[in-house]
């Protein structure tokens, strides 16, 4: 699921910012963008996020902006200053006319002004508090999206239940229609039609009728999708129950989509009427729409 949140926390040493954002993914994929000063807190951040998020490609950005140092806390790095003095003296021994470093250049030299060391213990506590705030807002945003997805999924369930209700009464009609047609064709194939007209036949009428009865019965069983429609209805009811119950539903709904698709495919493969074939295609389209969104749910 997608989501976004940012939390800012003012500390004694500066401003701490934690930003969380995610895009859809079937699994949890964590990425961190952290200042070097805060690299030590990454394991704690990972544990905090994994404890509350199970799906999504989540990016966590943590930045820390130090407060400007006042005059009393600024100090020159004596080691860097001494090293520069020696290097400058050596350079001038070879190039006497070389210009001296200015005060401005010295002060802007990397590492010349020493920053006060951060307390890692205090900083880690501030990071934990900030990430907790960010996670609360982040999960709230995902819940809002989840509510919208739930509405969409229930709408698709309603559509599929309407399809099942519409085609269920067609099953006995389809079986009877194809049994009658199959009976007539098999009579012709076995010569009963000719027998009815007085022509000789190679098998007795009783044997032919029994064979027809067996074949037609087997064919009726093969095209009967009442059981598949019953399972479809049960799976749809269970899917609706999972959505209404809430919580971590992603993996359970993944499984339900597989079961729904299996039954819809079977209905299509057994379809003896155009209406059944069309219904199977419509249901598979709805299931695919649901599957795409289910992969975004935790």
Helix (H, G, I), strand (E, B) or coil at 55: coil
Q: Judge if pTM exceeds 0.75.
A: no
pLDDT of residue 235: 93
- Position 175 confidence tier, pLDDT thresholds 50, 70, 90: low
Strands (E), 216-272: none
What are the tens digits of pLDDT across the range 16-44? 899 999 887 778 889 999 877 778 888 88
Q: Do both 19 and 84 map to the same domain?
A: no
pLDDT of residue 284: 93
Q: Do both 167 and 289 map to the same domain?
A: yes
Q: Say which residue the tokens 């506590």 belong to.
A: 125
Q: Do both 150 and 289 map to the same domain?
A: yes
- Report the percentage of the chain scoring pLDDT > 70: 76
Tell me if 119 is assigned to some domain: no
What are the tens digits of pLDDT across the range 248-291? 788 888 899 999 999 998 888 777 678 888 988 999 999 999 98
How far apart (Å, rounded) are the C-alpha atoms in residues 78 and 244? 67
Tell me if 277 is assigned to some domain: yes
Q: In terms of Cα–Cα distance, which of 225, 268, 260, 267 is closest to 239?
A: 260
In sequence order, what are the residues at sequence separation of 6 or more whose Cβ sits closer than 8 angstroms to the Cβ of residue 76? 112, 113, 114
How far apart (Å, rounded) are the C-alpha atoms in residues 295 and 241? 18
Q: Do both 23 and 42 map to the same domain?
A: yes
Number of domains composing the chain = 3
pLDDT of residue 9: 86
Tell me if 257 is assigned to some domain: yes
Q: Is residue 135 within 8 Å of residue 20, measured between CB atoms?
A: yes
Tell me if 57 is assigned to some domain: yes
Tell me if 120 is assigned to some domain: no
Q: Do both 151 and 62 map to the same domain?
A: no
pLDDT of residue 19: 92
Tell me if 14 is assigned to some domain: yes
Q: Do both 10 and 139 map to the same domain?
A: yes
Q: Is residue 266 within 8 Å of residue 280, measured between CB atoms?
A: no
Q: Do both 274 and 163 map to the same domain?
A: yes
Residue span of the structural domain in which 260 resides: 146-294
Tell me if 222 is assigned to some domain: yes
Q: Do both 165 and 268 map to the same domain?
A: yes
Q: Do both 136 and 186 map to the same domain?
A: no
How far apart (Å, rounded) are the C-alpha atoms in residues 298 and 291? 13
Q: Do both 87 and 155 map to the same domain?
A: no
Q: Do both 105 and 59 map to the same domain?
A: no
Q: Do both 152 and 289 map to the same domain?
A: yes
How far apart (Å, rounded) are the C-alpha atoms in residues 262 and 46? 38
Lowest mean pLDDT among 153-167, 205-219, 242-256: 205-219
CB atoms within 10 A of CB 284: 16
Which CATH number goes with the domain that contains 33? 3.30.230.10
Structure token pair of residue 129: 């508090």
Greatest distance between any 2 Cα atoms in the chain:
133
Tell me if 202 is assigned to some domain: yes
In sequence order, what are the residues at sequence separation of 6 or more whose Cβ sits closer than 8 angstroms to the Cβ of residue 69? 113, 115, 116
């Amino acid at each position: 699921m997608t989501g976004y949140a940012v939390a800012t926390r003012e500390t004694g040493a500066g401003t701490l910012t934690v930003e969380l954002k995610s895009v859809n993914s079937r699994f949890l994929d964590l990425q961190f963008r952290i200042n070097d000063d805060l690299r030590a807190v990454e394991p704690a951040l990972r544990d905090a996020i994994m404890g509350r998020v199970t799906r999504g490609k989540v990016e966590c950005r943590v930045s820390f902006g130090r407060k400007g140092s006042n005059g009393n806390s600024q100090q020159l790095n004596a080691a860097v200053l001494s090293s520069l003095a020696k290097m400058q003296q050596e350079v001038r021994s070879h190039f006497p006319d070389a210009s001296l470093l200015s005060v401005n250049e010295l002060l802007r030299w990397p590492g010349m002004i020493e920053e006060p060391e951060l307390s890692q213990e205090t900083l880690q506590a501030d990071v934990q508090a900030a990430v907790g705030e960010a996670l609360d807002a982040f999960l709230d945003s995902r819940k809002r999206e989840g509510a919208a997805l739930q509405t969409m999924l229930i709408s698709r369930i309603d559509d599929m239940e309407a399809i099942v209700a519409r085609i269920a009464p067609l099953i006995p009609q389809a079986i009877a229609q194809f049994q009658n047609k199959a009976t007539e064709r098999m009579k012709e194939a076995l010569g009963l039609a000719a027998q009815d007209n007085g022509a000789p036949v190679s098998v007795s009428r009783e044997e032919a009728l029994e064979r027809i009865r067996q074949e037609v019965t087997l064919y009726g069983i093969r095209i009967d999708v009442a059981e598949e429609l019953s399972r479809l209805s049960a799976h749809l009811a269970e899917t609706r129950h999972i959505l209404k119950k809430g919580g971590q539903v992603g993996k359970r709904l993944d499984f339900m989509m597989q079961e729904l698709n299996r039954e819809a495919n079977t209905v299509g493969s057994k379809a003896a009427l155009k209406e059944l074939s069309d219904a199977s295609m419509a249901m598979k389209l709805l299931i695919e729409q649901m599957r795409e969104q289910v992969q975004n749910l935790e």
